[in-house]
């Protein structure tokens, strides 16, 4: 069954370009295109897409407000924010509104396709620059700190966590570590449980806090 996608962006050419890129993949189907946040909420309620690709700044209704309203109107839908701006307030606002991912529009098409699929599969996807900004916001640079539950991770779970902190999806982690994607999902579930966190983003922040990931500068 195809992953059904709704596009919300006020730029017609960009929206049509995204539709062409996504529709070229046999696993994806663009079921609607709208120019603003309010229209996105109405369309999501009617079409019940699997994923909404949502711009942030749109006349007639911003994407962050619309994200929360879409999730309330269509609880089975997931939202990925795709924007020109990777400003901290946008990232945090989108995640607080319930977005499952945040990518900038300069992301290569193949990565956008992968991110949409990961989003539909229940993963939280953040582009590398967005992930760095988020970590910078929450991680103290005073040096590595003890993180409860980190010692309970197996060596393989440790490797998976480091790959998550690099911004890789489950499929990409599987390719890096030569694991089946279903095995990666099992490891991720166990990592979240051992670290007592809700999602991948929180796990990644803890990985940086524990010093598992080298930070430039």
Say yes or no: do domains 3-136 and 142-209 share a fold.
no
Question: Sign of the CA dihedral 59, 61, 67, 73?
Answer: negative
* CATH code linked to domain 142-209: 1.10.10.10
* Domain definitions of the chain by residue range: 3-136, 142-209
**pLDDT tens digits for range 130-183:** 776 676 666 665 666 778 899 999 999 999 999 988 878 888 899 999 999 999
**pLDDT tens digits for range 111-126:** 899 889 988 988 877 7
Distance CA 135, CA 202 (A): 10
Class in CATH terms, 3-136 = alpha beta
**pLDDT tens digits for range 204-217:** 888 888 888 765 54
């Amino acid at each position: 069954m195809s992953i059904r996608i709704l596009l919300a962006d006020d730029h017609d050419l960009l929206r049509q370009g995204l539709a062409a890129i996504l529709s070229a993949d046999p696993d994806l189907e663009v079921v609607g295109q709208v120019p603003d946040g309010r229209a996105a909420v109405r369309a999501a309620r009617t079409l019940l897409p699997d994923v909404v690709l949502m711009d942030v700044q749109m006349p007639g209704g911003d994407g962050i407000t619309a994200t929360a309203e879409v999730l309330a109107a269509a609880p089975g839908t997931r939202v990925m924010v795709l924007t020109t701006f990777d400003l901290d307030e946008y990232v945090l606002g989108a995640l607080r509104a319930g977005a499952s991912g945040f990518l900038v529009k300069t992301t290569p098409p193949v990565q956008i396709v992968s991110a949409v699929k990961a989003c539909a599969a229940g993963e939280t996807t953040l582009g590398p620059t967005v992930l760095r900004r988020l970590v910078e916001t929450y991680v103290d640079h005073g040096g590595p700190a003890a993180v409860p539950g980190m010692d309970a991770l197996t060596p393989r779970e440790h490797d998976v966590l480091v790959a998550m902190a690099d911004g890789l999806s489950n499929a990409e982690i599987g390719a890096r570590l030569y694991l089946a994607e279903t095995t990666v999902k099992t490891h991720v579930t166990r990592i979240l449980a051992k670290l007592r966190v809700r999602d991948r983003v929180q796990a990644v922040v803890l990985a940086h806090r524990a010093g598992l990931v080298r930070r430039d500068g």
